[in-house]
Amino acid sequence: MKAAIISTLSIILVVVLVIGNINWKLQEESPLTRIKSSDSSKVSVPVSDSNSDSYFSLEYYTSSATSWPKSAQKVLEKKLSDKKSFHIVLLGSESIGDKELGLVTSLKEALEKKYDQYVTIDSIAYDGTSSDYVSEQAYDALIDKKPDMIIMEPFLLNDNNVIDISTTLMNLRQIISETKDQLPDVTFVLQPAQQIYDASLYPMQVSDLQKFAEAEKITYWNHWEAWPDGKDKKVLDYLVKDSSDPNEKGYEVWSKYLANKLIAN
């Protein structure tokens, strides 16, 4: 009888030790355990589980958006507080490309890596002029996407040698006005299309766009800073041969510039 009791107690002891060892390993592997054991009171590494406040750090995300316009930062903070996604739309001519070759795919990957599901991005490429865009009220499709921020290339190359820059800027003003009527909290960011080689009129149009942005107090992201000068033949390495369209290298430099604006280091 005594031997049976001792055997039973031994088995119970072994089971307790095994269970304790398993629990200890689980605690070691838990992200929450690592967070609690940190000396810092801030969560430095978020986990994409919006149902768990233990893994969510508002400051982690907002600190990565310091290069955004102030109005967009405020909306982002509100969206994050409500555990909702902030939505960005890239709008422009076909120069911005598509999911196969363009800006949106690499930017989407970069944003997901940094912001998890809390910042999303989509794109709309339009193949007409800015006057066509306005006359067709194509901005309705933009409004339907309910963006919080619009990074817009205002169809400059499509307008080039077709309509003058003053008309382009008038159309741009109407697009912004019509969109803000429906989405009063939306933020616009303006940017040029790609750099091209040895152009004459186009750089002047881009300069006028930048002046317009400054006068209207609209954020202007000048990705040309990352390209070779338009008079330098090196810029041809960033364009499709016998075309002014960006190639893979061109989209890489353009998207990297935008990613650095959207994700502060």
Tell me if 179 is assigned to some domain: yes
**Owning domain of residue 28:** 2-35
Based on the fold, state whether residues 9 and 137 are members of the same structural domain. no
Closest of 69, 64, 77, 92 to residue 218, by C-alpha: 69
Q: Are residues 94 and 10 located together in one domain of the fold?
A: no
110 and 15 in one domain?
A: no
Residues 139 and 208 in one domain: yes
pLDDT, tens digit, 9 for 90 and up, residues 156-185: 999 999 999 999 999 999 999 999 999 999
Claim to verify: residue 29 and residue 110 sit in the same structural domain: no
pTM above 0.95, yes or no: no
**pLDDT tens string 197-255:** 999 999 999 999 999 999 999 999 999 999 999 999 999 999 999 899 999 999 999 99
Q: Which helix (H) or strand (E) holds 123?
A: strand 119-125
Going by C-alpha positions, the residue among 183, 210, 223, 230 that lies closest to residue 88 is 183
Pair 234, 253: CB distance under 8 Å: no
59 shares its domain with 158: yes
Residues 17 and 80 in one domain: no
Residue 240 belongs to some domain of the structure: yes
Query: What does the alpha-carbon distance between residue 116 and residue 111 come to, in Å, rounded to a whole number?
Result: 7
197 burial type by CB count under 10 A (0-12 exposed, 13-18 middle, 19+ buried): middle
CATH code for the domain in which residue 252 is found: 3.40.50.1110
95: its two tokens: 């120069």
Do residues 84 and 64 share a domain?
yes
Residue 173 lies in a domain: yes
Instruction: Report yes or no on 60 lying in a domain.
Output: yes
- Output the CA angle 18-23-25, nearest 5 degrees: 95
100 lies in the same domain as 173 = yes
Question: Is residue 187 in a domain?
Answer: yes
pLDDT at position 14? 47
pLDDT tens string 5-35: 455 545 554 444 444 554 444 344 333 233 3
Element (H, E) at 16: helix 2-29
Please tell me whether residues 214 and 110 are part of one structural domain: yes
Same domain membership, residue 120 and residue 7? no
How far is it, in rounded angstroms, from Cα 163 to Cα 264? Answer: 37
Number of domains, the chain: 2
Residue at 182 is within a domain: yes
In a domain, 40, yes or no: no
87 within domain boundaries: yes
| Residue 201 and residue 73 in one domain | yes
Q: Is the dihedral of CA 3, 5, 9, 12 positive or negative?
A: positive
